[in-house]
């Protein structure tokens, strides 16, 4: 009976350790995914900002060609007509990058949370496994884990 008790105790501890390992792997994987998502958001924002700059530059070039061909001069020079366009482009680019950075920081926060959950699961799992082991050894030492009750359930007296 003692051997079965010890085997059961060891299986219980091993099961706890396996659960801890599994939880830690899942948390680590989720954290990595969130870090990759944050970097992808930043990369997409850089791409979108560059694309916007190129489009606006092409539009400005076309407008400049049209203005030059139509003979605009003096107070209606190209610089006066399109001065605000460059400022608008810069503001739009900054908004794209800032929005993506906010979203990326949120993803990184979630990654940190997953890492923390993994650490907490590891700590609590090892504490649970250690507690199970100590409790089982204590029961074994006092004989509580090896003997079955032989008395009457209601009175407590032997049968």
Domain ranges of the chain: 13-141
105 vs 145 pLDDT, higher one: 105
pLDDT of residue 140: 74
**Closest alpha carbon to 26 in 16, 15, 38, 18:** 18
Q: Is the pTM of this model over 0.85?
A: no
pLDDT of residue 151: 56
Residue 19 binned pLDDT confidence (cut-offs 50, 70, 90): confident
List phi, psi (to 5°) of 145: -95, 0
| Mean pLDDT within 26-40 | 93
| Whether pLDDT at 35 is above 90 | yes
């Amino acid at each position: 009976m003692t051997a079965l008790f010890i085997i059961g105790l060891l299986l219980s501890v091993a099961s706890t350790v396996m659960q801890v390992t599994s939880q830690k792997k899942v948390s680590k994987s989720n954290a990595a995914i969130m870090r990759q998502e944050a970097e992808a958001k930043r990369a997409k924002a850089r791409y979108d900002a560059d694309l916007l700059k190129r489009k606006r530059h092409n539009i400005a070039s076309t407008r400049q060609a049209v203005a030059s061909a139509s003979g605009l001069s003096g107070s209606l020079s190209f610089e006066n007509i399109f001065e605000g366009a460059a400022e608008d482009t810069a503001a739009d680019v900054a908004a794209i990058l800032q929005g993506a950075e906010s979203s990326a920081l949120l993803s990184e926060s979630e990654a940190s949370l997953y890492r923390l959950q993994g650490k907490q699961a590891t700590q609590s799992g090892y504490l649970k496994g250690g507690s199970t082991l100590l409790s089982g050894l204590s029961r074994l030492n006092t004989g509580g884990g090896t003997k079955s009750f032989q008395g009457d359930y209601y009175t407590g007296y032997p049968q």
